[in-house]
Structure 1
Amino acid sequence: MEPLSHNHINYQARIDYIKRLLVDNFGLSDKELSGTKTTPIQYEADFPFKYNNFVYRISFPLDISTRPRNAGLKQAGCVPIPAGAREFIMRLSNADAEGMYRETRVQNEVAILTLASAALQHIEPHIVPRVFGWGPATPGRLGWILQDLMPGVPLEDIFDPAGSLEQKKDILGQMARILKGLQDYQLPKSIKGWGGLTFDDSGAIISASMPSVGAGPWQSLDDSYRGRLKVALRRVEDNPYLRGWRFNGIKERVEDFIERGLPKQFADLPSRQDRAIIHADFTSDNLLFDPETGRLTALLDYDFSSILHPAYEFFRSFGPNGGRFTGWMSDKDAEGRELGALRMAKLTGRFPSPLPTPVMTQNGPGVDWQLAQAWEDELQKHHVNRPSTIEGIDKLADVDELLGALAPWRLINKDFLRMNTDEGQRQALKRMAEEQLVAVLEHIGF
């Protein structure tokens, strides 16, 4: 019999925890509690990787909008529960999630939801989940958010290569409009830094550490990358394969770049003082839509969100098959040359005609050129700030590429390592990681 996964070990304890939250916040009787259904969403008991959050659908047997609420449901970022509402989403943050720091992650998500709701209020239907209650993660207590159960269904096969290009264009146009709203939103003056968010004692949204990094806030874009590069070095210090990159002079080269090279990379970025709401996981996986109207109905999962330069959204969102903008990479193989051509098309805003045939890779088809051009066309149509309009984004992307190369996921993720115990494969991954990191360093002159 296979052992239970680390996700499933505390399954019943989490259900019991939710029941206590419902009793504490709504004063449900035993009978009412027994009639309340708590159903996991997108949950696999044997999923090998740690979930960032455990998500549940809560179905009440009665209207809870008139129930007395304690202070937990009157916190900053919350709105009143609408009359007649009986179904909600409950998100519990996983204290064991890889690379997520719990101190302000709930506060950051609620604050971003608050800002995004204001930024996108002009879009109908309203696509940002409302928050009705939340609690921070503390020692021995999981962080939680009670929010809207949003209408709609997953996009699923719409972006399949065989799907309708016209339907894809329609969805991409709606995505571009959402992105434009996030970019154009004027941040409150209380947010002074780059990184994450939280609430002060008066309920104002203020800068805080970035939950996916565990550091910050920073006073400039330069400082944000300097801080994150240093965190990445510390993160691999005790890794048995990377050893803090203390071999072949690599660590010294990285530290030299942080000290001397980083300011030069940002010198050609006139917009380096710009900040925006960054979702950082803005993909079809986090969108719902109405099949009858074709309208997007929800943008979900703000767990990785932050306040950073508008370029950062293009480094983390929109999918790897043509939407994302990457930093420099070697053109020694067909895949690298294809990605280099896509990068140039995005930088110039001009795509080759006719469009290239996608390159087949060991992971399947490469760039979906039709989809990539359609995305660029919609960004232009909606006047979205994009790679072709952000002067110096190529050098910023190179810094981000270096950041990713410092902490290669397949060598630092404990779950991946646990499933891949072959030492020969691990050593091969180490050699590939070193080659990539050294190549990026050489490209930027270090």
Structure 2
Amino acid sequence: MEAPSHNHANYQARLDYIQRLLGDNYRLSDKVSTPLHRTIPKLSGTKITPVQYEAHFPFEYNNFVYRLSIPVDIPTTPRNADVKLQQPGCVPQETHVQNEVAILTLASAALQHIEPSIVPRVFGLGPASPGRLGWILQELMPGVPLDDVFSPAGSLKQKKEILGQMARILKGLQDYQLPPSIQGWGGLTFDDGGAIISASMPTVGAGPWSSLQESYRGRIKVALGKAEENPYLQGWLPNAVRERVEDFIERGLPKQFADLSSSQDRAIIHADFTEFPLHHHKEEIQSSDNLLYEPETGRLTALLDYDFSGILRPAYEFFRSFAPDGGRFTGWISDRDPEGNELIALRMAKLSGEFPSPLPTSVVTPNGPGKHNVKRPSTIQGIDKLANVDALLGTLTPWRLINKDFLRMNPDEGHRMELRRMGEEQLIAVLERIGF
């Protein structure tokens, strides 16, 4: 029998922690002693059920989600809700909760025109601190994942209807006027008065940044730091690759942003519309699991999981989301084989909005973006240069050499060195593509 993964090691401890939170923060019942002489709340009738959890899942979860079925009404504000929130500049673990709740607050306002609401309400939170897990108590949203819609069996009509609703969501996030208290690029938190302000980006562990250019400079520096710590990448020092990257940072990076007429554009970026794998064109890709819908009506009912969200340029959504419909900007990796050429052709079509026959060509409208007037790749000025920088950023830390779980499951040194060779080839291909 397959042994449970390291995610499962603290399974019972997490359940006990949730019980203590409910008892301490919401006064659900008196505490009682357990056979192990521990004191935890006795929550009669309360069910705590893991959501999308696999005991044998080999990769580390970035968070754990539980469905709570509570037989009594609880206050919408926890008893300990006056816990002082962390200030900007804290380590990622201490800003993770605040960033997600702040984004949920903004997204709720940005998408208030969509009824019923598709953004979960937040009933309570607890910022992380040393020795203490962070937590968010939020609304359970109705609906099921979009797997059936984006499967090969899904109809073209269904796909168009869902994509139209996705465009409406994206439009709302793009157009929302950010509060003046948010000054930078990156993550968010709250100040002592409850205002939402810029903070470090939890997924990066750095920021906030004062400009779009500085956000990419900072993230590239963080990526190089991770590469330096990796015994296989060695900071990309071998074969003088690091010199070329440093040269790009100093000379090339400013050029990528010099001609942007709207470099100050910022928007709420979800960055993870898609999540779990499904089969498409005989390969596994990402499925729209963070979007739920009602099969009977075809209506989207929820946009979930704001774990990777932040305040960035609108183009960034297209660098991180929309995998099922080919939205991500893969490519620029290699043009030495038919698959590489196909990826590059797809990338160019998305950037230009001009797709080859027999696919339908781009429809030009007075507003440019089409029916929903959404900013899309072909209408975002300078996205080609931003895509180049983002491609470089992505190739600096090859996931299969950085992720400790993947390395643990693939101990063969020969295979690891082959991945190292492929990673360097991809990084050089990107550098050559942008003239370095």
Q: Verify same fold: TM over 0.5.
A: yes
Partner residue of 1:429?
A: 419
The more displaced of 200-209 and 284-293 is 284-293
Q: Aligned partners of 2:262 and 2:343: how far apart in 1?
A: 25
Matched, 1:297 2:301: yes
Aligned counterparts, 1:124-203, within 5 A: 124-203=115-194
Q: Aligned partners of 2:55 and 2:168: how far apart in 1?
A: 37
Q: Aligned partners of 2:135 and 2:330: how far apart in 1?
A: 34
Q: Deviations over 1:381-422 (max 9, x none)?
A: 101111111121111101000001000000000000000111
Partner residue of 1:48?
A: 58
Would you say the 8 A contact 2:48–2:67 is kept in 1?
yes
The more displaced of 27-36 and 393-402 is 27-36
Q: 3-state DSSP class of the match of 2:224?
A: helix
Partner residue of 1:243?
A: 234
Query: What percentage of aligned pairs have identical amino acids?
Result: 76
Q: Aligned partners of 2:109 and 2:400: how far apart in 1?
A: 38
Q: 3-state DSSP class of the match of 1:158?
A: coil
Q: Aligned partners of 1:390 and 1:155: how far apart in 2?
A: 28
Match of 1:351 among 336, 352, 355: 355
Cα offset for 1:117?
0.2
Q: Identify if the C-alpha distance between structure 1 residues 348 and 8 changes in structure 2 by more than 3 Å, giving closer, same or farther.
A: same
Q: 3-state DSSP class of the match of 2:73?
A: coil
AA paired with 2:342? E
Matched, 1:25 2:25: yes
Would you say the 8 A contact 2:291–2:302 is kept in 1?
yes
Q: 3-state DSSP class of the match of 1:25?
A: helix
Q: Aligned partners of 2:235 and 2:218: how far apart in 1?
A: 16
Cα offset for 1:52?
0.8
Q: Aligned partners of 2:339 and 2:371: how far apart in 1?
A: 29
Q: Aligned partners of 2:345 and 2:181: how far apart in 1?
A: 41
Cα offset for 1:205?
0.3
Aligned counterparts, 1:93-104, within 5 A: 101-104=92-95
Cα offset for 1:329?
3.3
Cα offset for 1:206?
0.3
Q: Deviations over 1:257-303 (max 9, x none)?
A: 11111000112322211000000001211010111111000000000
Unaligned runs of 5+ in 1: 77-99, 356-369
Cα offset for 1:373?
7.9
Q: 3-state DSSP class of the match of 2:60?
A: coil
Q: Aligned partners of 1:62 and 1:159: how far apart in 2?
A: 38
Q: Aligned partners of 2:435 and 2:183: how far apart in 1?
A: 33
Would you say the 8 A contact 2:188–2:310 is kept in 1?
yes
The more displaced of 325-334 and 45-54 is 325-334
Q: Deviations over 1:117-137 (max 9, x none)?
A: 000000122100010000111
Matched, 1:408 2:398: yes
Aligned counterparts, 1:233-382, within 5 A: 233-283=224-274, 284-319=288-323, 322-326=326-330, 328-355=332-359, 380-382=370-372
Would you say the 8 A contact 2:185–2:207 is kept in 1?
yes
Cα offset for 1:219?
0.1
Q: 3-state DSSP class of the match of 1:137?
A: coil
Partner residue of 1:365?
A: none
Would you say the 8 A contact 1:74–1:133 is kept in 2?
no
Q: Aligned partners of 2:111 and 2:83: how far apart in 1?
A: 23
Q: Aligned partners of 1:269 and 1:316: how far apart in 2?
A: 21
Q: Aligned partners of 2:330 and 2:110: how far apart in 1?
A: 27
Q: Aligned partners of 2:221 and 2:104: how far apart in 1?
A: 29
AA paired with 2:290? N
Would you say the 8 A contact 1:25–1:73 is kept in 2?
no
Cα offset for 1:234?
0.3
Cα offset for 1:236?
1.4
Q: 3-state DSSP class of the match of 1:72?
A: coil
Q: Deviations over 1:146-203 (max 9, x none)?
A: 0000011111221112310000000000000000000000000000000000000000
Q: Deviations over 1:63-108 (max 9, x none)?
A: 2248x841427999xxxxxxxxxxxxxxxxxxxxxxx931201100
Matched, 1:108 2:99: yes
Match of 1:217 among 189, 192, 208: 208
Q: Deviations over 1:350-387 (max 9, x none)?
A: 222213xxxxxxxxxxxxxx8x989x9x9621011111
